[in-house]
Structure 1
Amino acid sequence: MVIFNTPGVNITFQEQERLLLIHWLKKPDMELLMDAYLHALQFVCDNRHTYYFCTNQTQIGPLDREQEAWLSQEYYPKVFECIQDEIYAAVVFSNAHFKAIVTNYQVPATLPQHHFIQFNYFTKQQEALQWLSDVKKGQDVAVIARTN
Structure 2
Amino acid sequence: MHEPLKTTGAAAPRQGLLLAIDVGGTKTQVACYNIAHPRMNTRILATHADGLSGVPALQRILDAAHACVAEFGDLPVLSVAAVFPGVVRGPTLLMAPNTPGFERLDLQGLIAQAFGNAPVALDNDVKAGALAEVRWGSLAGVDNAIYLNL
Report the TM-score, using the length of structure 1 for normalisation: 0.36
Q: Tell me which structure has the larger Cα radius of gyration.
A: 2
Report the TM-score, using the length of structure 2 for normalisation: 0.36
Q: Which has the higher strand share?
A: 2
